[in-house]
Amino acid sequence: QREVFEEISHLVQSALDGYKVCLFSYGQTGSGKTHTMFGPPGAHAHDERGLIFRATEAIFDEAEQLAKDKRPGLVCKVSFCELYLDQIRDLAPPAGKKQYPGPNLELAEDANGNVTVKGLRQVEVSSLETVHALIRGGLALRQTASTALNDVSSRSHTIFTLNVSRVDDGRAGRLDLVDLAGSENLKKSESEGDRAKEAKHINSSLTALGKVILALSASPAGASGETSDASHPAGVHVPYRDSKLTRLLKNSLSGNSFTVLMCAVNPAGEHHDECISSLQFAHRCSHVQTQPKVNYEAVDPAEQQQRIVKLSNELAGLKGQLESIHAHYQKELEAAAADPEYARQLGPVERSDAETDSDYEQDTPHRRFSGGGGGRVR
């Protein structure tokens, strides 16, 4: 995990700089996706901890450094959900209300095509310990089961999201860390009953994801990125609505985001076909172009106007103070220059060779003082 994180750590910095970032793992069941993303159980405190724990550590290291430098800090909010049997469930229920499974959450899409989960809880966090506790609590709720291929097989897709905004300039980044459930051969996994039902839903959603990637990678616009709408390349139908998974990942797959796929494979001979399929999927993903840009925290127009008025009033107040101070010292200087006794105390006035008597007379009563470094008192 350490070596993999070093390869993608620059993406965490991109999120801190105000970009949207998505990192998702893909591969057959039992190939190590969850191990890569989260690490083994209880690994959050040692060297085998997964990418999600390491990414959150990097975010809070930045927050700690800003506090040490006495600079404006970060505001961090996290959410954690799973897609199980085509139902979206919150993995971060309120403290003391561990109601699970909770209600099936619905998807919503705004006028700009951005997809959100209605009712998904966002938790504002101020410490790394709080984040790690939330992740461990969510993993305890996640649907897992034993199959012939994996003792602890993930039966749902999970999406952990960390929104981070800077207090000073309002840049708002987002880090989506997605652990996809693995594709499954029912004959090899020996899944029956509920396990078979889960596997069919997993395979169906991954098939829909494959179709989306195929459409995006096959189109000239998708390959070059030369399109007016990155989520809908010109002349190409992208079937995002075929699955809730593809709708959830729509913004990251071909929109305003840095997106990275981690392809996990099991190199054993009996999994040859699955390895080839996963690598082909990864190859197609490499041809999809996204168009990331720096994002800023949305501000309510009324609130924005209030801030403008407040800052304008503060500026006017400071300007008034400056003018008052200037007038006060100007009067003192003029009074001092007109006082003969004060002038005698200053000593003789130095004149440069270039100055004439008329220059000297014009300077009166604003005289050139010998002790003032040659500057005029105005």
Q: Which tokens sit at 324?
A: 């008052």
Q: What is the pLDDT of residue 222?
A: 46
For residues 269, 262, 115, 166, the Cα torsion angle rounded to the nearest 10 degrees is 160
Q: What is the pLDDT of residue 91?
A: 93
Q: Within the chain, which residues score under 70 in pLDDT?
A: 43-45, 95-101, 219-235, 299-300, 303-304, 342-378
DSSP 242: G
Q: What is the pLDDT of residue 165?
A: 93
Characterize the bridge pairing of strands 157-166 and 153-154. Answer: unpaired
Contact 82, 156 (CB under 8 A): yes
Q: What is the pLDDT of residue 366?
A: 45
Q: Which tokens sit at 282?
A: 């990864």
Q: In whole angstroms, give the CA distance from residue 327 to residue 265.
A: 77
Characterize the bridge pairing of strands 20-27 and 172-179. Answer: parallel
Q: In whole angstroms, give the CA distance from residue 140 to residue 118.
A: 23
Characterize the bridge pairing of strands 153-154 and 144-145. Answer: antiparallel
- CA distances to 48, 63, 67, 170 from 70, rounded to whole Å, are 33, 11, 5, 17
Q: What is the pLDDT of residue 157?
A: 96
Q: What is the pLDDT of residue 45?
A: 64
Q: Which tokens sit at 355?
A: 């100055």
Q: What residues form DSSP beta bridges with 23?
A: 177, 260
Q: What is the pLDDT of residue 111?
A: 77
Of 293, 261, 49, 259, nearest to 175 by C-alpha is: 259
48-67 confidence digits (pLDDT tens):
899 999 999 999 999 999 98
Contact 256, 95 (CB under 8 A): no
Instruction: Identify the helix (H) or strand (E) that includes residue 237.
Output: none
| Torsion sign, CA atoms 266, 270, 274, 277 | positive
51-68 helix and 2-16 helix, angle to the nearest 10 degrees: 50
290-333 confidence digits (pLDDT tens):
889 999 987 667 766 777 888 888 899 999 999 999 998 888 88
DSSP 45: G
149-188 confidence digits (pLDDT tens):
889 999 999 999 999 999 888 899 999 999 999 999 888 8
Of 41, 43, 78, 45, nearest to 59 by C-alpha is: 78
DSSP 164: E
Query: Phi and psi of 232, rounded to 5°?
Result: -140, 80
Q: What residues form DSSP beta bridges with 173?
A: 164
Q: What is the pLDDT of residue 369?
A: 39
DSSP 90: E
